[in-house]
Structures are given as C-alpha cells and as structure tokens.
Amino acid sequence: MTELIGTKFDLVVIGTGAAATTVASKCASAGWKVAIADSRPFGGTCALRGCDPKKVLVGAAEVMDWVQRMKGKGIRGDQARIDWPELIRFKRSFTDPVPKNREADYAKAGIETFHDHARFVGPTAVQVGRDLLEGRYIVVATGATPRKLDIPGEEFLTTSEQFLELESLPECIVFIGGGYISVEFAHVALRGGKRVTILHRGERVLEAFDPELVEQLTQRTRELGADVQLRMEVHAVEKIGERLLVRASIDNEQRTFETDLVVHGAGRVPDIEHLDLPAAHVEAEKRGVKVNRYLQSTSNPSVYAAGDAAASGGPPLTPIAGYEGGIVATNLLEGNSVTVNYGVVPTIVFSLPPLAAAGFSGRAAREKGLRFRTHRETTNSWYSSRRVGEECSGFKVLIEEKSERILGVHLLGPHADEIINLFALAINSGIPASEIRRTIFGYPTLASDIQYML
C-alpha cells in the first residue's frame, strides 16, 4: 500500500457551502494557506440543491397561483400552465454555473481545492482520496443530508435534491413528512395540476410554526386538492411495476397509497457520518459536532464546526451558516474572541401563500413568564389580500405589556416572506410597537399593514 505524503496547511475546510466558503475565504484573505475539500460539486446545498433552485420552482408556482386566484377578477388564464422541462432548464441556468464559478473564486483567493470524500485520520489530519491534508486547524462544514427512515423500500424514495432534477413531474406524488420540504414542494406540484398526498406522523404539519396559522394553511392546501393525512406512520414503500405503494397506519388501522413518486420530506440530519470523527477525537451528537460558544469542538481544540454540521443551537438556515462561518474565521484568526448571538432569526415556509415567523411563540413567551397581549386576525377581507384574490391570510403578533416590546410575529399571506424581515429588524433593534404605529408607511403596500397588526 502506497504511503500517503501529507501536505501542510494552516486550515483545512471540509465542505463548500455558505459556512465553508465564508471561513475559507476570510482566512485565505488573511494570508493563511487554506485547503477546501468536497466530494460533491462545489457550491453546497443552498446554491445547488436547496433554497436557491427551490425558489425558482416556487416562483413559477406563484405565477400560476396568482392567475388562478384572479380568475373572474379581470384575468383570463385558461392557457396558463407550468412547462416543467422548460422550468427545470431555467433552474439549471442558476445552478449549473455554480461549481465552476466557485472553484474559480477559490483559485483566485489562493485556496487549494480537492474533489473527493474526506475523512479524519488523526486529530489534525484529513484524507481526501489519495491526498493527506494536515492542518493547524480543521473546519467541518459539511451541511445536512436526508435522515434515514429505516423502512423497507427506502431506496425507492426521491430526495428533495432529486425532485429538483426531475425531467418531468408525475401525475401522482406522495410526500412523507410534513415539514418545509414536503409543504413547499407539494404547493409547487399542486400549481402544476398534480395529485398530491402528504403523510405526516404528527398532529399537524409545520410543527414549529403557529398552530392557528398552520391550520389555515392546511385548510387551504386541502382546498387546492391535497390529501393531508395526519398521525400517519409510514412503514414501507414497495415497487409494483411502474408504480409505488406506500404502506402506512393510523391508530393501528393499515392504509395503502398508490402513487407514481414518493418524496422524502421527513427531515434532515448533519452530514457527518462519513467523516470518521472518532479518529480525530471529535465528539458529536444527533444535531452535529459538539461545539462550545466559539464553535470550537468541545473535545478537539484544533477542530471547529459551522452550519448544519454543528450542534450550535442555531436554526439550520443558510444565513446562519454564513454567519457561523464568519464567527469561526474570526476566532481562528484572532483567537477565541467572538461568540454566537443569533438574536431573532426569521424563518419562512415558501408555501403559497408563504408562512413566516420571528421571535417567540405564545407558548414560549408564557414559559418565559412574559406578560403580553396577542393581536390575532384573519385578514382575507383586508384590501391587501382582496386585491390579489388571496383568501388565506392572517397574523399573530405578541406585544409585551408596559414596554410595548414586540416579542413574536407570525404571518401568513402575500409577501409574508418579505414583511417578516421588517419585523425581525424591529425586534432585534428594540423598536417598540408604539413607535412603529407612529411611522408613516408608503400606501398601498403590504408593509403599510404592519401598523394595523400592532
């Protein structure tokens, strides 16, 4: 067996997504000798197989949704439809250039690139294919991967990444799980005229969001034709000819669902199994590499982790990954001096209409012992919803008594994905509800509704 000869670096980064690119670029700019490795095309989940390409599909679905909502209100869109192959070609115009451009950016920054699987072979050594990379520091930023369901027929499932590459969209689709992936892709498929079933084992889909708004969205999803099955446990997937059969149960009652496609939307886990972390004495848990407040491994001070691969306490979102990459870079370059402080982070489900949240839920606020009032309305009669034919919209805002501090905001409806950012800014900046109510907004705009939500 040929003995590997190691190449020494100041920093070895595993992964090429938002967190990895941020830390590698900052350290290279500071004059460090940096290597970066990834077995997949360079670019990471968001740019290649996650939020960015997904939003292209959602954009097409939004057009169809708008046309359908405005029928009988001045718009005749009888011929409007989604041309799926053409849409996928358009999507690829965003994703296809990414790996080449990312590699060129690394080269320009002086970062050495390696294309192969990486695994630890020592506390500060990583084997990438036939190369041995030795670093003063190692950063794990490998992102997340669909969690294993451990059911018979799991090999017949289509992942979210594979869904984004489908050359055609089948007529009948079953989604396993009721999280972001299932709900977002289900709404795309529904606007494409497909038959959709969601099988979720919990009491409601999108369990991290406000129950009342989720119920509104679920009702709308059913009205669009989706069969949303709750408390449904999936046990197996079978292939029968060209069709798939999903075996499930609810309250010990066996059910079967025949379909063309079964999509895995039942959650993601840190993509760290292949790294052989024990070889580097790096401890991990189900949320990722165990890290301290500096995002440094709790068991190996030469290793840091960021993004979805780190058990940092931050939500698994692309902006968080980039933010954590910056934290790691600062702590590498300047010594551990900066700790994570996420503040209020907006989270969004790109359903149609979108669902968004920032800050405390009512339950969390009560558990904190906070005294607050809740303003909740269904807003399909508001001008901003009526003029675009949107019958599914509403909000819930939590305002602390006496201080007028905004504690939490939950939105459903047109442009909720944009308006939530204004609320997050207000919460993080400590702007009280009373001051926002005094602000003169441009009208008629969705943002001008904010005053009436407080």
Task: Kindly report the CATH number assigned to the domain that includes residue 245.
Answer: 3.50.50.60
Are residues 308 and 322 in contact, defined by beta-carbon separation less than 8 angstroms? no
Of 302, 334, 366, the residue at which a domain comes to its end is 334
Specify whether 35 is located in the same domain as 141: yes
Within-domain flag for 241: yes
Expressed as residue numbers, the domain containing 370 is 353-453
Specify whether 278 is located in the same domain as 262: no
Specify whether 326 is located in the same domain as 402: no
**Rounded to two decimals, what is the model's pTM?**
0.95
Which pLDDT tens digits describe the chain residue by residue (454 residues)? 455 668 999 999 999 999 999 999 999 999 999 999 999 999 999 999 999 999 999 999 999 999 999 999 999 988 999 999 999 999 999 999 999 999 999 999 999 999 999 999 999 999 999 999 999 999 999 999 999 999 999 999 999 999 999 999 999 999 999 999 999 999 999 999 999 999 999 999 999 999 999 999 999 999 999 999 999 999 999 999 999 999 999 999 999 999 999 999 999 999 999 999 999 999 999 999 999 999 999 999 999 999 999 999 899 999 999 999 999 999 999 999 999 999 999 999 999 999 999 999 999 999 999 999 999 999 999 999 999 999 999 999 999 999 999 999 999 999 999 999 999 999 999 999 999 999 999 999 999 999 999 9
Are residues 446 and 419 in contact, defined by beta-carbon separation less than 8 angstroms? yes
Total of domains in the chain? 3
Within-domain flag for 160: yes
Within-domain flag for 347: no
Specify whether 250 is located in the same domain as 275: no
Within-domain flag for 443: yes
Best CA proximity match to 197, nearest among 216, 215, 224 = 224
Within-domain flag for 70: no
Tell me how far apart the alpha carbons of residues 42 and 217 are, in angstroms, rounded to a whole number.
Answer: 36
Specify whether 330 is located in the same domain as 200: no
Best CA proximity match to 289, nearest among 443, 142, 413 = 142
Specify whether 15 is located in the same domain as 112: yes
Within-domain flag for 309: yes
Best CA proximity match to 165, nearest among 180, 179, 185 = 185
Task: Give the H or E element holding residue 311.
Answer: strand 310-311
